[in-house]
């Protein structure tokens, strides 16, 4: 039996891939709004745990089909490191979502394409192409406009959102290392089980019974997160990451619209300018990294 082809080896279907990635952006923006609403009543530790537990439950059908043999691994320390980094990303992101404009928190979290080349250089000793420095610099200028240091309006939560991006970028590099030996379902399973297990104790200490009306929001958070992951995976199955990856920035647009429609909060001019710079720089960084990998 021949080995399965990768997205790069198949004929790319960019329109369909872009559609799925845009759908992922919408689902993740909806998840972010659910997190923001839930954070008004529940602690950050509790929201993170519920998100992880619901994600683990959603994975059960795939895990049962995979069987015990499919979950056996020789790389548990690497899974543990990836799980801890991903969980730190989630704690920071959810904390920021509760305290910032939703679009700003999501945008700062999606600055990972600007950080990954630096992490790869420091962690994997991979060369950093000179041409990547331009989008990285442009992106960090956009981040500065969102953070607004020196204008008297800097919020510590914005720094936490940027920390989420650093943890997220490092976790993605860890996933890249794991994919050399581990199938995607196994990677997702170990992240789900590790993040749920580690987040249990903090949630128990901070536990308060959610109001009855909030359970629908929490259920939506779990469903939207799962749909977002599924759409993301489908997008990458239809076209290379360099082509469809930039469409994830539609999540920032959807988040701004949701927050405006539901909460009456519109982004300021500096945040809009920063969002444009980060989006352009992230898209360019993805394309340049793909060219460097293919050369």
Task: Band the pLDDT of 172: cuts 50, 70, 90.
Answer: confident
| Of 152 and 238, the one with more pLDDT | 238
| Of 225 and 177, the one with more pLDDT | 225
What is the number of alpha carbons within 13 Å of residue 152 lying toward its C-beta?
Answer: 0
- Predicted pLDDT at 35: 95
pLDDT above 50 for 110: yes
pLDDT above 50 for 5: no
| Of 223 and 237, the one with more pLDDT | 223
Annotate 132-157 with DSSP letters as a single string: GHHHHHHHHHHHHHHH-TTTT---HH
The two tokens of residue 207 are 């536990």
| Of 158 and 173, the one with more pLDDT | 158
For the stretch 263-293, pLDDT in tens is 888 777 777 887 788 878 777 776 776 666 5
Mean pLDDT of the region 119-125? 74
Nearest Cα neighbor of 73 from 170, 173, 177, 187 is: 187
pLDDT above 60 for 294: no
In order of 149, 157, 226, the CA distances from 268 in angstroms are 15, 17, 31
The two tokens of residue 258 are 């949701």
pLDDT above 90 for 60: no
Nearest Cα neighbor of 251 from 225, 217, 214 is: 225
H or E, element range at 13? none
Task: Band the pLDDT of 81: cuts 50, 70, 90.
Answer: confident
Nearest Cα neighbor of 290 from 2, 7, 3 is: 7
For the stretch 174-211, pLDDT in tens is 766 776 777 777 777 888 889 999 999 999 999 998 89
- What's the mean per-residue pLDDT of the chain? 80
pLDDT above 90 for 88: yes
- Predicted pLDDT at 12: 65
d(CA 238, CA 10): 8
Q: Kindly give, in sequence order, each residue whose CB lies less than 8 Å from that of residue 107, ignoring residues fewer than 6 positions away.
A: 146, 249, 252, 271, 274, 275, 278, 279
Query: What are the backbone dihedrals phi and psi of residue 225, each rounded to the nearest 5 degrees, phi first?
Result: -65, -45
H or E, element range at 288? helix 269-294
Nearest Cα neighbor of 93 from 29, 9, 13, 189 is: 29
The two tokens of residue 8 are 């790069």
Strongest mean pLDDT among 38-52, 129-143, 221-235: 38-52
Give SS3 for 165.
helix
Task: Band the pLDDT of 111: cuts 50, 70, 90.
Answer: confident
Neighbours of 220 (CB within 10 A): 16
Per cent of the chain over pLDDT 90 is 20
d(CA 15, CA 235): 10
In order of 15, 106, 160, 218, the CA distances from 89 in angstroms are 30, 12, 9, 19
- Predicted pLDDT at 200: 96
pLDDT above 60 for 160: yes
């Amino acid at each position: 039996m021949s080995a399965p082809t990768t997205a790069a080896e198949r004929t790319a279907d960019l329109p369909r891939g872009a559609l799925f990635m845009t759908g992922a952006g919408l689902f993740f923006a909806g998840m972010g709004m659910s997190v923001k609403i839930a954070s008004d009543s529940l602690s950050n530790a509790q929201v993170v745990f519920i998100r992880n537990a619901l994600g683990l439950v959603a994975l059960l059908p795939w895990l049962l089909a995979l069987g015990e043999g499919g979950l056996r691994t020789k790389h548990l320390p690497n899974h543990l490191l990836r799980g801890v980094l991903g969980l730190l990303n989630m704690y920071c992101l959810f904390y920021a979502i509760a305290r910032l404009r939703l679009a700003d928190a999501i945008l700062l979290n999606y600055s990972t394409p600007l950080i990954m080349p630096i992490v790869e250089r420091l962690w994997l000793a991979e060369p950093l192409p000179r041409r990547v420095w331009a989008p990285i610099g442009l992106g960090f200028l956009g981040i500065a406009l969102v953070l607004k240091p020196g204008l008297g309006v800097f919020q510590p939560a914005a720094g936490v959102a940027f920390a989420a991006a650093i943890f997220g970028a490092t976790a993605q590099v860890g996933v890249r290392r794991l994919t050399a030996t581990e199938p995607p379902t196994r990677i997702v399973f170990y992240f789900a089980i590790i993040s749920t297990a580690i987040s249990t104790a903090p949630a128990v200490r901070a536990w308060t019974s959610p109001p009855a009306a909030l359970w629908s929001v929490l259920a939506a958070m779990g469903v939207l997160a799962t749909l977002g992951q599924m759409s993301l995976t489908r997008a990458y199955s239809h076209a290379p990451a360099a082509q469809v990856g930039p469409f994830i920035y539609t999540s920032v647009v959807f988040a701004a619209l949701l927050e405006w429609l539901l909460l009456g909060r519109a982004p300021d001019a500096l945040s809009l300018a920063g969002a444009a710079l980060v989006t352009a720089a992230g898209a360019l960084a993805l394309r340049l990294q793909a060219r460097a990998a293919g050369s």
